[in-house]
C-alpha cells in the first residue's frame, strides 16, 4: 500500500504554482494528507558587488517582503480550507531556493513534494534548470512536477516507462497502487533506443528493419510478465513498446491523454545523478501532464503496513 502523510508544496505564487497547488490538493484528498505551503524568500547578497549592499534599510525591506509573502501564503491556506484539507504554511529566507526546499522537506519529513516546473517572469527554462530540476535531483522523497500549461481533461490513464531495471520495477509497484486509488488504467511503456548499446546486445536490434515487429512483440510479452509478477493490486493495464528516444515518452503520454507519468529517478544508469540529466529531465521538461519522479534512495511511497 502507499502512505503519504505530509505533502510539501513550494510556491512562488505564479500561475504554474497555482496549477501545481491543485495537484497537491488532489494528492492530499487521496491520502488524507497534510499540505505544507512553503515559500523561500531569496534575499540579495549584501557585499559591494550586489544590490543588497545599496539598500538603505535592508531589515525594513526584508520585513516588507515577509509581510507580502505571508499575505500570499494565507490566500493559499484559505483556498485549501475550502477543500477541507489539513494545511499549514511556512516561509524562510535563503540564498538558494532549491536547497531551501530540499532541506525543509527533510526537516518536516515530507513524504512528497509537489511543485511547478516554470517560475515567474517567463524564465521557464531558467527555473527548470536551477530550481525544479535541482529539487528533483537532490530530494530524498518523490517529487511531482507540473508544467505551466492548460491541460486537456485527462481520461484516467497513468503512463509508466519501464526499462526492466530495479528502479522501474519499484515505479510499477507504486503505479499499481495509485491506479487502484484513482480507479485509472495503467499503461506500461518500453522504449527501444537505437543508440542503446545494452539494447543492441540484448536483442541484436535493427540488424534489419524487419526484426522490429518481432522485438516489439517480445518486449510486450516481457512487460506483461513483469506486471503479473509484481506485487500490488490487480488493476486494468496495457503494454506498449515504441522505438525511439526519451521524447517518445511524452509524445505517447500526450497521445494517450494521460493525466500522470510515473518515472524512476534513474533506470539502467545506477548512478544517482545521471538519468535526471537525460531521460527524466527531458520528460519533466516536455510532459504536458504531471510527472511523478520516484527515488530508489531515500523515502519511498510504499508502506510496509498491511
Q: What stretches of 58-140 show up as alpha helix (H) in DSSP?
A: 58-82, 97-107, 124-127, 133-138
Same domain, 128 and 77: yes
Q: 146, 177, 201: which is the final residue of a domain?
A: 146
Query: Which backbone phi and psi does 274 adopt, to 5 degrees?
Result: -75, -55
Which of 108, 88, 72, 87 is closest to 29 using CA atoms? 87
Note whether residue 305 is domain-resident: no
What pLDDT was estimated at residue 273? 40
Same domain, 244 and 165: yes
What pLDDT was estimated at residue 42? 72
- 238: which DSSP letter? E
Same domain, 168 and 44: no
Q: pLDDT tens digits, residue range 211-239?
A: 788 889 999 999 999 999 999 999 999 99
Cell numbers representing residue 192 in the block: 527501444
Same domain, 187 and 76: no
Note whether residue 279 is domain-resident: no
Question: Would strands 112-116 and 6-10 be described as parallel, antiparallel, or unpaired?
Answer: parallel
Distance between CA atoms of residues 145 and 290, nearest Å: 6
**DSSP per-residue codes, 25-44:** HHHHHHHT-EEEEEEEEEPP
Distance between CA atoms of residues 267 and 120, nearest Å: 32
CATH of the domain at 220: 3.40.50.620
Q: 120, 146, 172: which is the final residue of a domain?
A: 146
Strand partners, 116: 146
- Which residue range is the domain that position 246 belongs to? 157-264
Q: What string of pLDDT tens digits covers the 306 residues of the chain?
A: 899 999 999 988 888 888 899 999 999 999 999 999 998 877 655 545 455 444 555 565 566 666 777 777 778 777 777 778 899 988 888 878 899 999 999 999 999 999 998 755 444 444 444 788 889 989 999 999 998 655 555 568 999 999 998 889 999 999 999 999 999 999 999 998 765 444 444 555 545 456 788 889 999 999 999 999 999 999 999 999 998 877 899 999 999 999 999 998 764 434 444 344 477 888 888 899 999 999 877 788 876 543
Note whether residue 152 is domain-resident: no
Chain centroid to CA 206: 33
Distance between CA atoms of residues 264 and 162, nearest Å: 9
Same domain, 43 and 102: yes
Same domain, 10 and 102: yes
Same domain, 237 and 203: yes
- Our count of domains for the chain comes to 2
Note whether residue 251 is domain-resident: yes
CA atoms within 13 A on the CB side of 17: 19
Note whether residue 269 is domain-resident: no
What pLDDT was estimated at residue 246? 76
What pLDDT was estimated at residue 8? 98
Same domain, 139 and 245: no
Same domain, 178 and 128: no
Note whether residue 283 is domain-resident: no
Note whether residue 278 is domain-resident: no
**DSSP per-residue codes, 134-196:** HHHHH-SS-EEEE-SSPPPPP-SEEEEE--SSHHHHHHHHHHHHHHHHHT-EEEEEEEE-TT-
Cell numbers representing residue 299 in the block: 523515502
Amino acid at each position: 500500500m502507499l502512505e503519504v502523510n505530509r505533502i510539501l508544496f513550494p510556491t512562488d505564487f505564479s500561475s504554474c504554482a497555482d496549477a501545481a497547488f491543485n495537484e497537491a490538493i488532489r494528492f492530499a484528498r487521496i491520502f488524507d494528507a497534510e499540505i505544507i505551503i512553503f515559500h523561500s524568500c531569496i534575499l540579495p547578497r549584501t557585499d559591494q558587488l550586489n544590490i543588497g549592499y545599496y539598500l538603505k534599510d535592508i531589515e525594513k525591506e526584508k520585513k516588507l517582503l515577509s509581510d507580502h509573502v505571508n499575505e500570499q501564503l494565507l490566500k493559499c491556506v484559505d483556498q485549501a480550507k475550502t477543500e477541507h484539507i489539513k494545511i499549514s504554511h511556512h516561509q524562510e529566507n535563503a540564498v538558494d531556493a532549491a536547497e531551501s526546499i530540499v532541506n525543509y522537506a527533510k526537516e518536516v519529513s515530507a513524504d512528497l513534494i509537489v511543485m511547478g516546473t516554470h517560475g515567474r517572469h517567463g524564465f521557464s527554462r531558467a527555473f527548470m534548470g536551477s530550481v525544479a530540476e535541482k529539487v528533483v535531483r537532490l530530494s530524498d522523497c518523490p517529487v511531482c512536477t507540473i508544467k505551466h500549461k492548460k491541460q486537456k481533461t485527462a481520461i484516467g490513464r497513468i503512463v509508466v516507462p519501464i526499462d526492466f531495471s530495479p528502479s522501474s520495477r519499484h515505479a510499477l509497484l507504486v503505479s499499481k497502487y495509485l491506479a487502484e486509488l484513482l480507479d485509472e488504467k495503467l499503461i506500461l511503456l518500453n522504449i527501444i533506443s537505437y543508440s542503446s548499446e545494452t539494447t543492441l546486445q540484448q536483442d541484436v536490434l535493427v540488424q534489419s528493419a524487419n526484426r522490429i515487429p518481432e522485438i516489439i512483440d517480445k518486449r510486450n510479452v516481457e512487460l506483461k510478465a513483469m506486471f503479473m509478477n509484481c506485487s500490488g493490486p490487480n488493476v486494468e493495464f496495457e503494454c506498449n513498446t515504441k522505438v525511439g528516444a526519451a521524447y517518445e515518452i511524452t509524445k505517447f503520454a500526450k497521445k494517450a491523454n494521460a493525466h500522470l507519468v510515473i518515472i524512476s529517478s534513474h533506470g539502467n544508469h545506477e548512478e544517482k545523478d545521471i538519468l535526471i540529466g537525460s531521460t527524466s529531465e527531458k520528460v519533466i521538461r516536455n510532459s504536458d501532464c504531471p510527472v511523478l519522479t520516484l527515488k530508489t534512495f531515500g523515502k519511498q511511497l510504499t508502506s510496509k503496513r498491511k
